[in-house]
Amino acid sequence: MLVPPTSLSETVRTGENVRRIRKMDGGMDGRFSLLPVAQTPLPPHPTRITSCGPSERELISSAITSRAPAPKKPRARAASCLHMVRPERTEERLDSDKGASVNVEQSACKKSPGWDSNSGTSRCKATVLGCVITSHTMLSYLTSGGCRLPFYLFAVVLPLVSPHNLNRHQHQEQGDKDRPKLLLVSFDGFRWDYIYRVPTPNFRSIMDEGVKVEFVENIYITKTYPNHYSMVTGLYAETHGVVANEMYDPALNLSFSMETDSVYDSRWWEQAVPLWVTVQKDGGRSGAAMWPGSDVLIHGVFPTRYLPYNASVSFEARVRSIIEWFSAPEGEAVDFGILYWEEPDESGHNLGPQSPLMDSIIAGIDEKLGFLLDELKKAGLYEKVNLVVTSDHGMAQLSPEKIIELDQYVDRDLYTWVDKSPVVGILPKEGKLDEVYAMLADANPNMVAYRKDDIPEHFHYQHNVRIMPILLEAKEGWTIMQNRTGLFMLGNHGYNNTLRDMQPVFVARGPAFRQNYIKASMRSVDLYPLMCHILAIQPLPNNGSLLNVRDLLSSEPTTSAPASAHFTPPPKVSRYSYAPVVGSFIGVVMVLGFLVVYVILVTLKQRPVLKHRSWEMSQPLLQEDLHL
End-to-end CA distance of the chain: 61
Portion of the chain with pLDDT greater than 90, in percent: 59
Say what the alpha-carbon torsion angle 511, 319, 198, 195 is, to the nearest 10 degrees.
40
The total of other beta-carbon atoms located within 10 Å of residue 418's CB is 23
The burial class, CB within 10 Å (0-12 / 13-18 / 19+), for 576 is exposed
Nearest alpha carbon to residue 334 among 309, 302, 303: 303
Contacts of range 163-169, beta carbons closer than 8 Å, 24 or more positions apart? 163/580, 163/581, 163/583, 163/584, 166/579, 166/580, 166/583, 167/580, 168/283
Q: pLDDT, tens digit, for every residue of 304-352? A: 999 999 999 999 999 999 999 999 999 999 999 999 999 999 999 999 9
Per-residue pLDDT band at 6 (split at 50, 70, 90): very low
Report helix angle 163-174 to 148-161, nearest 10.
50
Evaluate if residue 153 carries a pLDDT over 80: no
The SS3 assignment for 300 reads coil
Q: For this structure, is 224 an active site residue?
A: yes
Residue 473, number of CB atoms within 10 A of its CB: 21
pLDDT bucket at 596, cuts 50 / 70 / 90: confident
Q: What size, in residues, is the chain? A: 628
- The answer, yes or no, to whether residue 536 has pLDDT greater than 60, is yes
> Does the structure show a pLDDT above 70 at 566?
no
Q: Which of 224, 233, 304, 390 is catalytic?
A: 224
Report the Cα 462 to chain-centroid distance in Å: 19
Higher-scoring residue by pLDDT: 554, 112: 554
- pLDDT for residue 607: 52
CA dist 149 and 145 (Å) reads 8
With CA atoms as reference, report the closest residue to 234 among 545, 499, 505. Answer: 545
Give the pLDDT score at 166. Answer: 44
Dump pLDDT digits (tens) for 392-428.
999 999 999 999 999 999 999 999 999 989 999 999 9
- Residue 71 scores a pLDDT above 60: no
CB under 8 A, 24+ apart: contacts of 139-148: 140/64, 140/65, 140/66, 140/67, 141/64, 141/65, 144/64, 144/66, 145/605, 146/601, 146/602, 146/605, 147/598, 147/601, 147/602
pLDDT single digits (tens) 429-459? 999 999 999 999 999 999 999 999 999 999 9
Q: Residue 476: pLDDT band by 50, 70, 90 thresholds?
A: very high
Give dist(CA 381, CA 477) in Å, integer: 43
- Whether 32 shows a pLDDT value over 90: the answer reads no
Which residues lie across from 480 on neighbouring strands? 404
The pLDDT confidence band at residue 154, using thresholds 50, 70 and 90, is very low
Residues 6+ positions from 374 with CB-CB distance below 8 Å? none
Beta-bridge mates of residue 92: 103
DSSP lists the bridge partners of residue 216 as 522
Worst-scoring range by mean pLDDT, 135-139, 495-499, 517-521, 522-526? 135-139
Give the β-pairing of 423-428 and 336-341: unpaired
- pLDDT tens sequence across 178-216: 789 999 999 999 999 999 999 999 999 999 999 999 999
